[in-house]
Amino acid sequence: MTFQDERTQGDRDGRRIDHLAEWLEVTLGARLVAYAVGVTPAEIARFAHGESPTAEIEQRLRNLYTATWFIASTDGPGTAHDWLMQPKPELANRAPAELLRVGEAPDAAWFSVQRVY
């Protein structure tokens, strides 16, 4: 596995979902995580404390983790928050968080349009 593979995967499939939910909640804040995943902030807190989400919500959490880890591992968590919220012309003027909310998985095109903040 290369460093680039690690950045785009971030061991997302090998980690417990409660650990990912907790990391996302601390890194991005419960409101942004909840928006990007399509649940309430209270549900994010429950997932972070061990409650199991549905398979669909678990996949969305893993997708959000992948996108967040990629940006945060290079530029920091504040940049990841901003990057998720900013509409991108290359993504049809939609923000990555909006695309994640509707169930899209991050792909290489998302990261190739990363701006330096």
What is the tens place of the pLDDT at every residue in 38-61?
Answer: 999 999 999 999 999 999 999 999
Q: Where are the domains of the chain?
A: 3-112
Nearest-angstrom CA–CA distance, 86 and 58? 24
The CB-side HSE value for 62 (13 A sphere, CA atoms) comes to 16
How far separated are the first and last CA of the chain, in Å rounded?
Answer: 28
For the segment 92-107, the average pLDDT, to the nearest whole number, is: 93
Query: pTM score, two decimals?
Result: 0.83
